[in-house]
Amino acid sequence: MGKEIYNNQTSLHVVSKNDLKSILTNHSLWVNSGETEGKPANLAGYNLRGVVLLGENLKKANLKGAYLYGAYLKNSNLEQANLSGVNLRGANLRWANLQGADLSGANLVRADLHESNLKETNLIGANLQMSDGLTLKQIDQAQTNETTKLPDSLE
């Protein structure tokens, strides 16, 4: 951890597979212990391009500003997670639980949102253009406004 790369003049942190595994293990312990053991995952500003987190429990994790381009988050629990400003372009969020998550200002272009739970999810300022599997029912359950960019099929 600690290495930095530069992407569009934004500094992103790099995490090794072993460090990421340790962060996820500690986070799982924190969630499963009722937040009394372990510690919450703080991956804000990390480069996690293409990461595979299939079915991972990231409830209340901090991923603010992370680079998750093409990430595989199918069946993951991201309930109440801070995902504001993240790049989830092309990410697989199929069947993901995003209830109460903050996705304000997030890039979800071409993301797969088929059957994902968007109840009470903050999508203000999010770009959902060309996303796959998104329905009006999902949008109606989320928080949106005029700055939320919806796919042409839903406008």
What is residue 42's predicted lDDT score, i.e. its pLDDT? Answer: 98
pTM of the model: 0.92
55-70 per-position pLDDT tens digit? 999 999 999 999 999 9
What is residue 74's predicted lDDT score, i.e. its pLDDT? Answer: 98
2-36 per-position pLDDT tens digit? 444 444 446 899 999 999 999 999 999 999 999 99
| d(C-alpha 122, C-alpha 27), whole Å | 23
82-114 per-position pLDDT tens digit? 999 999 999 999 999 999 999 999 999 999 999
**Count of CA atoms in the C-beta half-sphere (13 A) of 122:** 15
Q: Identify the structural domains of the chain with CATH numbers, from first to last.
A: 44-155 (2.160.20.80)
DSSP 8-state class, residue 5: E
What is residue 121's predicted lDDT score, i.e. its pLDDT? Answer: 98
* Closest residue by Cα to residue 65 from 49, 43, 40: 43
b (16+ CB within 10 A) / e for 95-127 = bbbbbbbbbbbbbbbbbbbbebbbeebbbbbbb
